[in-house]
Amino acid sequence: MGQPVEVQILSSAAKQGREFHSPEAIHDWAKGGCRGPNPLEPRQGRGKRSEASERVSIAGGGETVGAGGGGICEQVRAVPLDDFRRIGEVVILKATSSISSKETAERVLILDFGSQYTQVIARRIREAKVYSEIVPHTISAREILSLRPKGIVLSGGPASVYAPHAPKMDRAIFHLGIPILGICYGMQLLVHEFGGQVARGTRREYGRGTLRRKKNCPLLEKLPARLEIWNSHGDRVTRLPRGFQSVATTENSPYAVVQRGNIYGLQFHPEVSHTPKGQQILGNFLKKICGCRGTWTMGSFVKRGVSDVRQQVGNGRVILGLSGGVDSSVAAALLHKAIGNRLRCIFVDNGLLRKGEVESVKRIFGKHRHFNLTVIDARLRFLRRLRGVADPEKKRKIIGREFIHVFNDAAKKVGRGAQFLAQGTLYPDVIESVPIAGNPASLIKSHHNVGGLPKRMKLGLVEPLRQLFKDEVRKVGEVLGLPKEMVWRQPFPGPGLAVRCLGAIEEKKLSVLREADAIVVEEMKASGWYYRIWQSFAVLLPCRSVGVMGDERTYDNAVAIRAVESKDGMTADWVRLPGDLLGKISNRICNEVKGVNRVVLDVSSKPPATIEWE
């Protein structure tokens, strides 16, 4: 052991009960003559320093270094010099009394290592009314300190910790004393960084598993000894680093939950709906380990969203593609709240819409909501571009590209010099289209709002809902005063019926699908199931089958019924609809829709399937 080192804080800010978590930063800063940013200086929100001054006194080997100061001196803790360099060692500078100060929002940071479920983690944290923010895995410890998070989550990811270009993180983050939860790859990374061993499992763990608790810990407090969980990993921890302990196991992993102090690792995914008690696990991390109270709401998001739109748009004008769906409707309401009549809503009839959609949009938004609304008939333009195209990716890109061209034309005619195009893009659209923050998430499919955008777009892009999930958007819609029938409408894909009409697009096939889909919607609403589940719709399959109608042989199309339950669109399970309801839908489609003689039911979950067929 080295010489005793006395760490003191001299400041009125000490009375605020703040915690400063980096002993190495304190020591290095003081030994360096207190030059550069003070690691002990409190932050009053991002980018703002407290007016209170600090003084650090480190006395070791007869040396004392200090800077600034004034107020009541409090001795906080004496630590041997060598302990400053011990991994995980924390010096707490904290006073017992407190003074009033403006409350700062609780924040939990999620370091993104490329998982498809990174923002599902963010969504689950928000469900606990704690603000979550996704940041690149390359963020520095200094940047994290400036954000003053209550906790840090390390996301999963597709890489192996031993891969040559595997994403890493600033190791100093482990020294900050801030609670950390590593999930899947995040757990493997922290174990690897602390000196443990990670290796390829004897078999890949994918799907449901059973977690067996060995020891009590705050993370699993008030949970059963056996839990159903969801796995998705190939690597696993084979040896724990010094100081870590195994808290729970699965069939294939003796280290499914590990702990060292306030650092935890989970080999499974608590954020997905297939882990039934996952929200309680995350809640324990937030409330019992991070000390969060849960004060973040959709009302606060609306305030920030309005402010962000005003800052981005300035005095400019915005045009928005209004489809009548939840996403574009809520985006329009938020934009209208922010910039008023400088928003021009343009409804494009692209020939890929549901039955009665044009009339519904005119009635709700034009007559009742008094939006600046222009309706453009572009059916022939879109269908001409899509003629003979069967590939799903090409469909999406063509629709997205043509969508932008239509809006460029509309801006010249009715936009009166609009500088921005607004879209109701949501997170599931983005995460299935492009990696977030440059991380190596695997591409699933392009979305018309994202992947199909031309490289040189003539309008700036405004996406106020880009970081929200569908259920959050609905809550925002309620906050903005939109009616229930609009807010709780089932999702409809941006490319419209083009991704539900498999194969090449033809007007006749779209007409068949449009009629079949209308029957599904009617019967779901009549039975009370429509508002109970996430999504229900018809899909026209690219095949024909033999049937008998009356006394005649038929050779007609088949339609699939897709009905799923989901919380956010990232995972979904097929809904067990009553047999009599399915029978009624099938009979009506076969009897009323010319060209269909067979109806089948899609019983696939997501994963492995996606909700939409294309």
Total Cβ atoms within 10 A of residue 34: 16
Q: Which of 106, 271, 357, 472 is catalytic?
A: 271
Which residues sit opposite 561 in a β-bridge?
538, 601
Active-site annotation holds for 478: no
Greatest C-alpha distance within the chain: 105
Show the DSSP H helices in 367-480 as ranges. Answer: 379-386, 392-413, 427-431, 470-479
Angle at which helices 326-339 and 298-313 cross, to 10°: 60
AA letter at 426 = L
Count helices and strands (H / E) in the chain.
Answer: 15, 22
Q: Which of 263, 255, 213, 257 is nearest to 237 (CA)?
A: 255
For 139, 159, 495, the CA distances from 164, given in Å and listed in that order, are: 20, 10, 39
Distance from chain centroid for Cα 597: 41
For 36, 111, 145, 264, 302, the CA distances from 170, given in Å and listed in that order, are: 20, 11, 12, 17, 33
Q: Which of 41, 184, 205, 290 is catalytic?
A: 184
Residues 212/250, Cβ–Cβ less than 8 Å: yes
In the DSSP assignment, the letter for residue 530 is G
H or E segment and range at residue 552? strand 552-565
Q: Which two tokens stand for residue 19?
A: 């915690």
Place of tokens 């921890």: 237
Active-site annotation holds for 184: yes
Rounded distance between C-alpha atoms, residue 243 and residue 602, angstroms:
49
Q: Which of 27, 137, 192, 269 is catalytic?
A: 269
Q: Phi, psi at residue 460, to the nearest 5°?
A: -70, 150
Active-site annotation holds for 269: yes
Rounded distance between C-alpha atoms, residue 49 and residue 553, angstroms:
80
Task: Provide the sign of the torsion angle of the four alpha carbons 84, 86, 87, 93, taken in this order.
Answer: negative
Pairing of strands 4-10, 56-60: antiparallel
In the DSSP assignment, the letter for residue 256 is S
Task: Provide the sign of the torsion angle of the four alpha carbons 584, 587, 592, 593, taken in this order.
Answer: positive
Which residues are marked as active site?
184, 269, 271
